[in-house]
Amino acid sequence: MATIRITKMYDFEMAHVLKDYDGPCRNIHGHSYKLFVTITGTPITDPASPKKGMVMDFKDLKAIVKGLIVDPFDHSLVISSETDPEMIQSMKKHIEKLITVDFQPTSENLVIHFAGMISAALPANVKLHNIRLWETATSYSEWFADDNEA
């Protein structure tokens, strides 16, 4: 049985701040992110299954990633939990979608974070192969399962 990869693409707008960074990303600013999620598996062969011929229904993959990542992160501001606590408290009063993460919110760290969330939510018959997060038109970070297996 052939192993197949399927990919779904998502986009969302997100602001972030890179604390202590020596470039312009230390200021609050946003990016139009594009996220590509690739999973691997074998197409379902059960003739009685409504999903026969599919590794996973694209609709189901869409729902998982939308619920975990796109909806919460779209039009949010993501900051490190190491930000000055007084500033975090003040921002919480004024910013509805403020997400505090325990890492510097670079595209590299975001793909690690997103990969963990997606992997945990996938059904047992498929596996996360890689995710790619475009931060700008010319820059992306990737996480590959093969690179990260113990």
Query: Looking at beta carbons, which residue is closest to Zn ion?
Result: 25
For Zn ion, the closer CB: 38 or 76: 76
Site string for Zn ion, 20-59 (x = CB under 5 A): -----x----------------------------------
- CA torsion, ordered 60, 115, 74, 79, to nearest 10 deg: 160
- 95 in contact with Zn ion (CB under 5 A): no
- 70 in contact with Zn ion (CB under 5 A): no
Which entry of 16, 31, 129, 135 is annotated as an active-site residue? 135
Q: In the Cβ-directed half-sphere of 22, how many Cα atoms lie within 13 Å?
A: 0
Distance, CA of 17 to CA of 146 (rounded, Å): 30
Distance, CA of 56 to CA of 9 (rounded, Å): 15
For Zn ion, the closer CB: 25 or 145: 25
Which entry of 16, 25, 31, 86 is annotated as an active-site residue? 25
- 109 in contact with Zn ion (CB under 5 A): no
- Token digits for 43? 């197409």
- 19 in contact with Zn ion (CB under 5 A): no
For Zn ion, the closer CB: 4 or 25: 25
- Token digits for 36? 């590509």
Provide the residue count of the chain.
150
Helix, strand or coil, per DSSP, at residue 106: coil
For Zn ion, the closer CB: 40 or 141: 141
Which active-site residues does the annotation give? 25, 75, 135
